[in-house]
Amino acid sequence: MDLITIGSGPLKVWAIARQHPGETMAEWFMEGYINRLIDENDPIVRQLRREATFYCVPNMNPDGAFRGHLRTNACGANLNREWCTTGDYVAPTLERSPEVFHVLAEMTRIGVDFCIDVHGDEALPYNFLSGSEGVGKWGPRLKHLQDKFAKSFRQASPDFQSEHGYDKDKPNKANLAVASTHIGQQFDCLSATLEMPFKDTIDDPNPLTGWSPERSMHLGGAVLEAIRAVMPELRTEK
């Protein structure tokens, strides 16, 4: 697994992708995200790198990707249900979900002020966020940050929208074995899952290519505008 670190600022900004190895658009998103972050000619990212350190895991599940799995790692575990013990089994562990074990250990060591977990959805023809509304620490501060982030993302990319998506979790009913909710609860930070379509967006379809690697990469670059918008309100103290 790769952990790519970019920048030197005090804020800790994490992006992880492809927990489900069949969701290849997530890693293309990360390529666009990282390519923009290392562009020395982009004044916005130069500023971002002064204000934050970006921790990027472009492929959380390399063994599953190599084996051609859709949703599981080499051990048969769905990594996006391995972020804490739920009662049925202990998680994460080195035996069942070493990928999550090591990434969560690094997050705990370093800290997290923001996290986005990038996925693809087989059914919904939209790009959308699944937030952390159901975690115990959800409140006015996190709601404000998530709303501002989503608004800024819509402004940065017409391919992103907030009208359609999953049903929101009810208060204190989030599944904390899911990465974005677990991270939001443990670190009391803005944390969300980004879903992209497998086929295309219904709002602006491209009949020739559908939702392509190139469009995923553009969306990865655009999300930095939304991160920039909320940065002044992300705290650094722990």
The residues annotated with a catalytic role in the active site are: 195
Facing residues of 221 across strands? Answer: none
Contact 227, 218 (CB under 8 A): no
| Surface-to-core class of residue 174, CB atoms within 10 Å of its CB (0-12 exposed, 13-18 middle, 19+ buried) | buried
Contact 113, 11 (CB under 8 A): yes
Which residues, 6 or more positions from 107, have their beta carbon under 8 angstroms from its beta carbon?
14, 115, 183, 187
Residue 21 has a CB neighbour count (10 Å cut-off) of 25
Alpha helices (H) along the chain:
25-37, 43-51, 62-67, 98-110, 140-156, 179-187, 213-230
Pairwise CA distance, residues 78 & 29, whole Å: 21
Contact 14, 110 (CB under 8 A): no
| Surface-to-core class of residue 140, CB atoms within 10 Å of its CB (0-12 exposed, 13-18 middle, 19+ buried) | exposed
Helix (H) or strand (E) holding 130, with range, is strand 128-130
